[in-house]
Every structure is written in structure tokens, then in C-alpha cells.
Structure 1
């Protein structure tokens, strides 16, 4: 059953049990949300919760405060067109990329290509088995790029997991030729320090530069040594991708000692991740700018020389941010939205106990000019619907909805669903649409829900960790002008200049 907007769901009693208080204490003292062994090698499991929490969830469903298990609810201005369940790749669904009539869906077991020429009936074109978390995905021309951030026996798609303490283990970037979408060909692999948790493309006519984000070094890891206070830069010749290679490791957080110059984390800043690299970077090639979400720091840097990025400003939030996760520019490049992955994407953080400021987005204005630009905090935004304590909920990947004169984005929140929100007024952001499912499990804390939710050529596409590929249609006078914007290609972490790209 599909329900439209229910006013009772705006304020929920969830999240006030003693178990939630225990969770809050754990989050306040938690360490970095480090990369973990490949979850794609096993089905999604849950964590037990006590009977009091289970009873609270059952009561909330019975009282209509939250949707029932797997029940779909949404605002009146969103239509759910279709869900395509997972098929040959049962692992965790991850990021999305787009090109022409195709959508490319990352999955911890590989990737899937959809023909979305009819958004109401996506067709599978290819499924490629190539395990290796988290298989962050992007495309440029005839090339597809895939991140591997789990320790593998080798760089092949037949590899198995192997301890990261073994020198022979492999992590890094994989490159595929997708000139024939039905038959992708694996053409290159490049090993990078600490693997590749995520990556961002800086495309040029003859080459594609890749900024590789990875983190959590350890003296016991032969290929991931501290301080690891920068990013790997890979250069891929378009006409000879087999020659792809690391061309540099620019240090973004210079400093004395073994830990570099980023946020020291605990005990100096309790509850904040120590900065040992970046989690994700969004580049804005048309402005020679990039924004880095780097564990304990948010940074703004120039990419005028793509092989030698230069940090312009660096900010921290040691009160409410735990793990700087991702970044989104507005169209005028005078704002950046940073997300906080409180709980590392494994906790129920969208409840009354955690509150509206922790685990939220941070809206920053960019003030000044040139290399003197500064990031100035304006406000937090968090979805206004509390989730059950069996629902992992976290601020995750989103994109701009290209509306001239307004700053609106769509964003994934795991089991918090998909949220569309307006930050035109940096100090007073507000949600204008949403889509979500009820808990996938009412007995255990479970990771599920949208990993990525992006707007592309008239529709919202969401990659649900557990449920598959969703297509949504947004009908709202505030966002309708975006329907006229058409892109040839979209990698959200390579943010386009929307109004000059069609």
C-alpha cells in the first residue's frame, strides 16, 4: 500500500528509550568510521536490539507514527514509478553514474548497467561480477571506473578477500571499456595506498584524472602507512587506458609528526574522527574548485593544476560533526553542503535522542575571492521524520536539482529514505519532498535504504542498499524548471555546470 503525506508522521516519539541513550553515548565516544572488510562477501546482517526497543517499534507502527515494515510512504509531490530488485549481484548496492540513456549501478559484488530510456521500465543491459567494496562507480566517455576498498588476493575480478597485513594484497582502481555497453571489458588496474574508498574524476580532452579518497592507515599495513594525509592522483590516457598510473600523492594536511596536520580526533576532540585522508571529494571543473569531506575536516581547494591541487580553506566542527562524508556545491559555487556520517553508516541516528544537529548536513557559504575564499557555517539540515531504532539512518549521497535561481538538492538517508530540500536561504533550509520505506526489520538494527539519490534528466534515481534500483518522479512548481536541463553524462562527484552542459 502507498500512503501520501501523513501529518502525524511529522513528529514521532521514537528514539527516547534507554537503549537510544546508550547509543548516543557510544556515538559520542566512537572512533573513525573506518573502512571494513568487504560486506559484499556476506548478506546484510542486523544487530540485536532489546525487547523494549522492539516493542517501541511495534507500537509506533500500530499507532501510525511510522510506516509498517517495507511499507512505502511519500509526499504528495513524489511518485514512485518503479523498483527493480537486485538480480545476479546480491551484494550491497552503492553509488550511481549516468551517461545518455544509461544508468550505472555500483554494487559490492560488481556493477549493473540499466537502459533508462523509459524511466518507468528500466532494462538490464549488463551485470558484471567483480567483487570488491565498495565499488564506487563513475563513467567518462568509453571508460568506467570502479573503486576497490577491501583487501583482495589480486586485481582480477576473480579475487578473494585476503588480510591487509599481507604485502601481496591488492586495493585500488579498476578501469573498464564500456564502448559496448552490453559487454564491458576490464582493461586496467592501478593499486593505490590504502585502496580506493571513493574516487572523483577530473576529465580532460585527452586524459582523465582520478582523485582517489582513502583513509585509516596502520603501521601494520604494508600498503597503507600513516600519516596518509593526502590523496592519490591517477592519470588515465583516454586512448591508452592500460597505461593508467599514479602520478602523485598531494599532501592536503601537512603537519609535524606521524599524524600530519588534520583533525587529531579523540582525545583532543572526543567523538570526532581523526583525519587520515579523505572520504569523498566533489570537483567543480568549470570553476577549478573542489570540496573535500575528509573525516575530521572539510576543505575547499583549487584544482587549476589537476595534478597539484591546492587547499584554500580548511574547517572543522568539533561539536556536531563526527565524520565529514561528502560535499555538494550549489550552482553559483558560493555554497557547499557537507554531510556527516554519524555512526559510520551503521547506527540509528535519526531519532529524537540524537536530535536535529548531530548527523546532519552542514550548509556553508563560500565568501571572498580567489585563494582567499573562506567557508562560513550557516546552518544544519536533517530530515524531520524520526526513524525507528532498528533503522540505520545517515546523511548520505545526493545531488543538485538544477533549478535556475534556487539551491535545491535531493539526498539519500539510508532507511531515512530520499529527501528533497531547499537551501536557497543558507540559514533556513527546509524539506520540500520525501520518499521512504518502513523498517526492513522490526527486530534488529539493519543497514538498508537509499545509498545514493540523484536527479538526472527529469527523474530521481535511487540505489537502495537492499531493495534495488528505484525511479521517482518529482512534480513541484519549485523544481519543475529542472526538467528542461539535459546532461550527456553525470558523475555527481564531478559536478557539472548544469546550465552550460546541454
Structure 2
């Protein structure tokens, strides 16, 4: 099962899904059953197994498949980060560094084996950070999967030196309560603050007792990363509404936090609800508002618009393992919800967006990781939808978002349950998609709406650490 990890990782993923979506004895009202009025029209027949389908304004210009040592059955590709002419792609078994100086011909510079799901990834200067949310026997890259209840079990943040892209070097690690499912970096002149999101990976009453409500902030000194330490554990959850212990809205830690330091704001997608935070003091974030949505099952991700006047929250209905984009699921479920930020401090819900292409019952599909396309004066986003592919959509009108382009493949061979685009981000004129089983895709969109973004040149991109353009 792939270095002894496969079964553990799959069980962890299923446990996470079950924990977040369990039914209650007195559930909240169900959204209306899908009808012809609530399901967007299809754009044609779904592609056949592994076939590619795309809008006229989007084309695939490169693909780099997963290769040894990341060629096992569960060596799944995960998140991406960018820096200069390099792209960094996480994998359940480590990470890859690509030279993307020529986006049409990406070159693999190194593949670093470092076991630990899910290896969510960020880069700041010469430092690379990986999240580990799978109990390991120790903090090294050779540590094996172990029982999370073991007193020696380790989960948390690993730090690498990437000054030599061809030979990344492991520097240190920091253990965090409940591990690190994802993380968010706030770069500074002397330190990088790492916000660790830890919903929990498996039942662990000793090291991570329920309800797993925690936020850990790690301080990594830029000049001495070996001195990285847990600097704060602020309680941002004290103002969240209560919930029944067996409710699908049972409070838990955050899945993802997106920061916008210039605006002194953060948006946190936490299991059960969404938060707007004041991060004027990065070590002491304060809750401004908590919102809920009866259509949401798993508050998964958050993205600000460029002006910091809107937040897109995503719902990972089914935990990424289910076919929630077929005709039987309502258009407001497994979708994005668009909130305007009014008076600078209050969230006001407007429209929903879900891809307008019904997928088959064999394709896991739901809203997942994406980023802004920096179009001046417009709100445009690209987003991965697992086997729903990559969607480019415009939410300038918060009440009437619309898709303007897409790329997708047909179902995986043999009905495999997990695949498609984990993350899709725009970087310096191109869209890069980390496909779970197919590797790195590079897409180009040619459209009058998005073409102005090609003039924007970024030097670094961690999608959950936003800045203005």
C-alpha cells in the first residue's frame, strides 16, 4: 500500500469526513431538492474516461506526470506554492520543486521524499514549510505511521532550507496539538508566523481531545529557523455559537485560514462555521464575526477579493471523497458562498457559485483550493474542483457569479475514488493545477476579461497569504 502509509492515510481521510458530516438526531432544515431551476445547465456531454474537455478560451500547454519516487497508489499530489521561476508541489509522500521559467516546459529539479499526509506546502525566502496531519513515529522524513495515541507520536510543521532548489535540506520541526492539516504563513522581516489549522486526523483523546478547537501560531526566526517554536495558542473560538454534540455543525478547529496582512484581516473556514478575524497583532487574532450557513457541511477554504471587501468561503461537502457535483445535489451545496465585507468588519452573505457542469456518480467533485486572477477592478478566481476540473469564474457581481472558462478530464479508469485538481492557482500569466493522480498541469486562459492580469508580475505566491495587486 505504498511505503506502509496508504491504509492509514485513507482511513484518516474517511474519519475526517465522517467526523465533519455525521448526521444528528435533530438535524437542521435540509436545502430544497435539486430542480431544473436550481441546477445550472450542462455545457454538453461529460468527457469519457481520461478524456479532456475545456472551454474555447482555456488550453492545456503542459503536463508533468507523477513519477518515481511519487508513483505509488496513494502518492497523491496536493497543494502548490510559487517563488520566482519555481513551483513547489506537495505530495502525501513529500514534495517536488519545478523550474517553470518556461511554463510550457516545466522541469523537475528535485523530488524530496518526506512521508506525512498531507504535506500542505508554503515557501518564504529560503524556507519551505510542510504540514503533517498523520501521526508519525518521529519528526524525521523517515518516520513511520503510528498510533496517534502513542506518547511519542508526532504531527506538526516541518521546515526545509530551499536555498539549493536541487537539494532541499531538512532543518527542523515543531510539534503542534492535533497536528497540522493546513497552515498559513505571515512573512515578516525577522520571523515568519505560521498559523496552524488542526481539525484532527483521527480520534486521539490523549494528544487531541475533542472538540479539537485550537489555533497554534509557530514563530520561525528567519536567520535561525532551528529555533522555531510555538509562540501562541490564541482562543478565537470563544464567541462561536454552541451546537449539539452530535450535530453536523459540531464545532472543531479550522480547516484553512487565509490572511490579508495589509488589511489586518483573516478569514477562517472552521468546521461548523466561518470567521472574520482582526490580525492587527498577528500573535493575538481577535474574532470580529462568526457566520453559519445551513447549506454548508464542511467550511473548507476562504479567499478575499483584491480590495479586501469580499470573502469567498468554500464548502467541501463529502470531504472531497464524494460525487457532489451530479444532478442529485443542490447548486448551493458543495459550492462557494460569497460574502461582502460591509463597514470594514461585518460579513454579509450574497450569492453562491457551483460549476455549471454536472459530473458523473463516479467522480469526486466539490469546491476546493483556488486563488484570485489579479484583474484590475474585477473579482475573478480560478479554483480546483477535484474531478470537476479547473473552473475560472467571475464574482464581481456578488449576487450573480458566473463561470467564464474551464478544463476537466473524464472519470478515472476503474472507477478510482479520488482524483482531479486539488489546487488551481494563477501565477504570472498561467494557471497551475496540482492533479492528485495526473501530476502538474499548466493551463493558459485567453480571454478579454482575464488578459489584463498578465501584466501583473508576482515574486512569491502562497494562496492563503494574500496581498494586493
Aligned residues: 428
2-structure distance, mates of 1:420, 1:107: 24
CA offsets per residue over residues 170-206 of structure 1, 9 Å max, x none? 0000000111111111101000000000000011111
1:265 & 1:119 partners in 2: Cα distance? 50
Superposed CA deviations along residues 182-234 of structure 1, whole A, max 9, x for unmatched, are 11111010000000000000111110000000014888432212343231000
State the Cα RMSD in Å.
1.6
Query: C-alpha deviations, 1:452-501, integer Å up to 9, x for none?
Result: 00000000000000100000001000000000000110000001212xxx
- Spell out the pairing of 1:201-212 with structure 2 (5 A cutoff): 201-212=185-196
Q: Does the 8 Å contact 1:263/1:297 carry over to 2? A: no
Identify unmatched segments of 5+ residues in structure 1: 1-28, 35-63, 256-260
- Give runs of aligned pairs for residues 128-207 of structure 1, distance below 5 A: 128-207=112-191
Q: Quote the residue 1:464 is aligned against.
A: 435
1:125 aligns with 2:109: yes
Give matches, 1:28-39, under 5 Å. 31-32=19-20
Distance 1:266 1:388 in 2: 34
Aligned with residue 89 of structure 1, among 70, 88, 94:
70
Q: Which runs of 4+ in 1 moved over 4 A?
A: 217-220
* Match in the other structure for 1:349: 324
Correspondence for 1:72: 52
1:31–1:273 Cα contact (<8 Å) kept: no
Cα distance between partner residues in 2 of 1:217 and 1:462: 25
Q: Scaled by the length of structure 1, what TM-score is found?
A: 0.83
Question: What TM-score do the two structures reach when normalised by structure 2?
Answer: 0.89
C-alpha distance in 1, partners of 2:277/2:396? 23
Q: Which residue of 2 aligns with 1:490?
A: 461
SS of the residue corresponding to residue 436 of structure 1 reads strand
1:31 Cα deviation from its structure 2 partner:
4.1
Q: Are residues 1:225 and 2:209 paired?
A: yes
Change (3 A) 1:471 1:78: same
Question: Take 1:265 and 1:341, find their aligned partners in 2: how far apart are those partners?
Answer: 21
Cα distance in 2 for residues equivalent to 1:217 and 1:474: 37
The corresponding residue for 2:365 is 393
**Contact 2:339/2:350, CA 8 A, preserved across alignment:** yes
Gaps of at least 5 residues in structure 2 are 1-16, 23-43
Distance in 1 separating the partners of 2:115 and 2:422: 18
- 1:449 aligned partner: 420
1:70-114 superposed Cα distances (whole Å, 9 cap, x missing partner)? 000100000100110001213110000000000000000000000
